[in-house]
Structures are given as C-alpha cells and as structure tokens.
Amino acid sequence: MVIPVHDVNPVRRTPYVTYALIFANVLVFLYTPGLAGSVAGDSGLSQMCHLQGFLDHWAMVPRELIHDQLPRLVPTGEVGAGAHGAGCVVAPPTYDKSPPLSVFTAMFLHGGWLHLLGNMLFLLIFGNNVEDRMGHVRFALFYVVCGYAASYGFALLNADSGDPLIGASGAIAGVLGAYLVLYPRARVWVLVPFLVFLPLRLPAWLVLGFWFVLQAVYSSGEGVSTAGTVAYPAHVVGFLAGMLIAWPLRPGTPPPPEPRGLLFGRRARARHSW
C-alpha cells in the first residue's frame, strides 16, 4: 500500500470544514475513555471495560441499526469478579440509544492512534480540494451522507453482527471517490515501501484506483486471512457513493495545474510534441 503525503493541486479557499473535521476527530479521540492509557502502555482490564462501555453507547452496531435490537445488558465500564474470574460488569443500559444517530457519532470514534492518524492523513490531503470544489456547506453534507451510506451498506451486509463499527473511513472513502472523479490527473506524492520508502509522484487515478481495488479485494476475503477489524465493505460503499455524488460536478471542474519541479530527485525533462 502506498502512503500519500502531498498532492500537487492548490486550493482557492481555506478548507475550514476539513480542518474542523480533523480537529473534532482528534479531540474526541483524546477524550475517549480507555484510549488515553493505551498511549502510556496501559492496556489492562479496566481500560478495556471503560472502552467497551463507551463504544456500546456511541458506536454503530449493525444488528441494532438493521433490526432495531438493542441489548438488554451492556458493559458499565466497571470491573468485577465472577465465577470465571475478573471481567467487565454488565447491567441494563442507563441511556437511550438511537441506532441511526449512532452512525453519526461513530464517524468520530477511532480505535487507536494509527487508525486515527491514517484517516486524518487521507482527509487532509484529499479533502481540501473536494471542499474547494463543493463549497463548505455542501462538503459537510457530502461527508455525512457518504458516512451514512458506508455504514448502512456495511450493516446490510452484516445485519446480524453485534460488533461495533467505528471510524471515519467510510466518509473519507467518499472523499477519495469524489477526488478521483474531479481530479483524476492531479499528481500525488506518495511513499512506496520497497526496501525503503521511495518517494514517487503518481497520478491520482492510479493512487486512488489502486486503493479502491485493494479495498474491493479485501472485502471479498481475498488477499487476507481474515477481515479482522477493518470494515472493507464500508470503504467500498463510501467510495462509490462519493463518486456518484461528485459526478455531476465533473464537467465544470478546472483541471489541476501541470506538475513541475523535481521528480525522483532530478528535474523532470521537458516534454515535446511530435
């Protein structure tokens, strides 16, 4: 997988919504109970119980969303001892949970620093241009719609699952799909792992197209021993939703500037017409 670091595609206005989304995601992560200790190396039972209780309240659960089946017992965040040893205490929930609203709150939850920073990197690089093309308000609505499309798509494919779904990946996948439609020829600086990280400048259609193909392959179960904790189908649905929504804006989108400057450490050769 290539790691994008910068795109050669300047914007005309400050991407306030993109910056606000990044700030909100980081702020929520810092205040998520049970995750602050993970930075200091504390991964004990108390941390896990606090995190489970928090996620059961605010994360999207496919079974709750599709069947409206809320659990009778949920973790309280406390640790207790039972016949089989120490574990998380469960009790009837003391809150009213709205499954459709949990789709929105789940977009701002992340399971670790790598999960958070990876999502925010993609949002920072590609979100500013999509916001520049759509405008602040339309981009904010677009982001939420893609997140909902990704979550509902994943939930429909896993309707009986009781595992929580968290992360901004589905909404950000929509941003990537829109960027591919609007700026397929924009150049993106990426790091390619090949013994060392090689910096390359590649067209957006190649970088994002390759990313989408990987998500589609992984969502089918190919190429990985298990789907693990990554909701690949949500990425696929969000990406396609972003492409469809952005398609009407494609004809009026100005092309990105022709890249100039350094390429592979040497100045790029001038191109000639024959």
Smallest CA-to-CA distance from 253 within 201, 178, 198, 157 is with 178
CA 129 to chain centre: 17
- Whether 60 shows a pLDDT value over 90: the answer reads yes
Tallying the residues shown for the chain, one arrives at 274
When pLDDT is averaged across residues 197-210 and rounded to a whole number, the result is: 93
From the number of C-beta atoms within 10 Å of its C-beta (0-12, 13-18, 19+), residue 225 rates as: exposed
When pLDDT is averaged across residues 95-115 and rounded to a whole number, the result is: 93
Residue that wins the pLDDT comparison between 73 and 14: 14
Percent of the chain with pLDDT over 70: 87
205-206-208-209 Cα dihedral, nearest 10 degrees:
90
Q: Could you name the CATH architecture of 3-36+96-251?
A: Up-down Bundle (1.20)
Residue with tokens 């499309």: 149
Residue that wins the pLDDT comparison between 34 and 25: 25
Q: How many other CB atoms are there within 10 angstroms of residue 199's CB atom?
A: 15
- Whether 152 shows a pLDDT value over 70: the answer reads yes
Identify the band that residue 259 occupies on the pLDDT scale cut at 50, 70 and 90: low
Identify the band that residue 238 occupies on the pLDDT scale cut at 50, 70 and 90: very high
Contact 74, 53 (CB under 8 A): yes
pLDDT at 36: 54
pLDDT at 109: 95
Residue that wins the pLDDT comparison between 197 and 260: 197
| β-sheet bridge partners, residue 199 | 191
Smallest CA-to-CA distance from 73 within 91, 89, 60, 58 is with 91
Q: Domain coordinates of the chain in residue numbers?
A: 3-36+96-251
- Whether 46 shows a pLDDT value over 80: the answer reads no
The per-residue pLDDT of the chain, averaged, comes to: 86
Identify the band that residue 25 occupies on the pLDDT scale cut at 50, 70 and 90: very high
Helices marked H in the chain — which ranges? 16-30, 36-39, 45-58, 62-67, 99-106, 113-134, 136-157, 169-182, 204-219, 232-246
pTM metric for this prediction = 0.87
Smallest CA-to-CA distance from 180 within 244, 87, 259, 269 is with 244
When pLDDT is averaged across residues 105-125 and rounded to a whole number, the result is: 95
